[in-house]
Chains A and B, each alone.
Chain A
Amino acid sequence: MADLDVTPDVTARPLGDPLVVLSHVNKHFGDLHVLKDIDLTVHRGEVVVVIGPSGSGKSTLCRTINRLETIDSGTIRIDGTELPEEGKALARLRADVGMVFQSFNLFAHKSVLENVTLGPTKVKGMSRADARTKATSLLERVGVGNQADKLPAQLSGGQQQRVAIARALAMDPQVMLFDEPTSALDPEMINEVLDVMVSLAREGMTMIVVTHEMGFARRAAHRVVFMDGGQIVEEADPETFFTAPRSDRARDFLSKILTH
């Protein structure tokens, strides 16, 4: 666990209208029922931490929200609009939903700067010069401004993940999804990524974050959602969830991650 200051400074801010709304979402992989009747509403400016044992469906949940995975039934709305099928509308929606992966997934053949300018120039039709300016300031903001011309493989994991965050931010998303953004990192690099995420939360970004970093949850999250076996078992504010979980499954899970 990263050692973060735990003052809940973000959570005092009032929340906006519903931005991401999942209702009765079901998803199967063959016979496996991975998402079971999921209902989840995330408000504008809200930071939701999703936590739960491996295989409980957290990644799948994230991936359905920008339709990297399709769903079998139910609806997912972003800012009132239901997720489109394929085509232009879907591309536009994906630009509205930023995604950060556990394994960074930076484009390995492109420089750090090109990684960040690709989306704005190719999807939003921004001019190269404008995209460059924007990318440079985003890279500066996540603390890797001096690495712009390097290839991803030349960066540390923590730096790569911060570039990945800049790449997602370059599309001006309405909501950011983080799927275990620090689990692939060496311990000494976890905080540099979490710090960027905390500052994003402070600036009012709507965020859905799959993570087991309790420090981050306590410091930045409005709400913790506990998943197990494809279901949302329990939701609470971070302090309540970590100190007084209601369900046995959450208690059991917390005892495991606290003692390892």
Chain B
Amino acid sequence: MTDDSFTDDSFTDDSKGEPVHQGYLDDVSTAFADYDVLGAFWVNIQLTVYAGLIALVLGTVLAVMRISPVPSLRWAGTTYVTLLRNTPLTIIIVGCVLGLWGQLGVSLGTGFQQNFFRLAVLGLAVYHAAFVCEALRSGVNTVPTGQAEAARAIGLNFGQVAGLVILPQAFRGAVAPLGNVLIALVKNSTVAAAGSVAEASVLMKEMIENRPDIILTIFVVFALGFVVLVVPIGLATTSLSRRLAVAR
């Protein structure tokens, strides 16, 4: 595979002077040899990992805010979730890249590529943090109120009650919904295209434009690529959620 997909547009391998006409399979294999498909998917994986980690931390903070006894924190948490969850992701990503960088000159890295990548990670993270928060809150709801009361009764403060008693159980009760957020994030990482990040869906579009003769195959390969990424996450979280479930 090569990186210079723009320059190498030849439909034929003429090294042996063979005729232009080839079989469909040969067409496909030459096309995919010309484009770095794995590299493009690797960008989606990186977007997912970085955005996922940040969303997990931010979502946890938001969930703690939403269960805290301080009304203004609860309000701030609720407002964040309502706003971010109800804004289309494309708009958030475009807002990050064009708004933050284009208008305000916020730069998160050196060079366009790194900067766009990081801004897209930021957009994906702040959006999915709202969903992490909601997933965690559903986990909090699996923890009986008596757990928090017993924790308060031995003198733990709010931070300790949340960090030592509620959240550890909430995470274990929220593995399945958190897995769903991760799955959505993998797929939504393609929206980074709107922020000029060269990930899989961008490459797919480019290949389709250059090789309209094998559109269907290109489409199937990219779709399968995402299935291959997503299915194991579903299987893993299902089995994890069973294994980590808190016995009561």
Using CB atoms and an 8 Å cutoff, list the residues of chain A in contact with chain B.
66, 68, 86, 88, 91-95, 97-99, 101, 103-109, 118-119, 122-123, 151, 153-154, 164, 167-168, 171
Contact = CB atoms under 8 A, between A and B. Distances in A.
A19 B144 CA distance: 32
Contact of B154 (A86, A94, A104, A108): A94
Identify the 5 closest CB pairs spanning chains A and B, nearest first.
Answer: A153-B247, A95-B155, A119-B154, A105-B150, A105-B146
B154 A168 contact: yes
Given A101-B146, A153-B247, A167 B154 contact: yes
B154 A123 contact: yes
A108 B248 contact: yes
A20 to B, nearest CB: 15
Interface residues of B, number: 22
B79 interface: no
A200 to B, nearest CB: 17
Interface secondary structure of A, over-half rule: mixed
Contacts of B208: none
Interface centre among A92, A101, A154 (most CB of B within 10 A): A101
B246 interface: yes
Contacts of A103: 144, 146
Contacts of B69: 86
B246 A171 contact: no
B147 interface: yes
Contact of B155 (A94, A104, A109): A94
B149 A92 contact: no
Interface in B164-215: 164-165, 168-169, 172
17 contacts: A66-B153, A68-B152, A95-B154, A99-B153, A101-B146, A105-B146, A105-B149, A107-B147, A108-B246, A109-B168, A109-B169, A122-B156, A123-B156, A123-B160, A167-B150, A167-B154, A168-B154
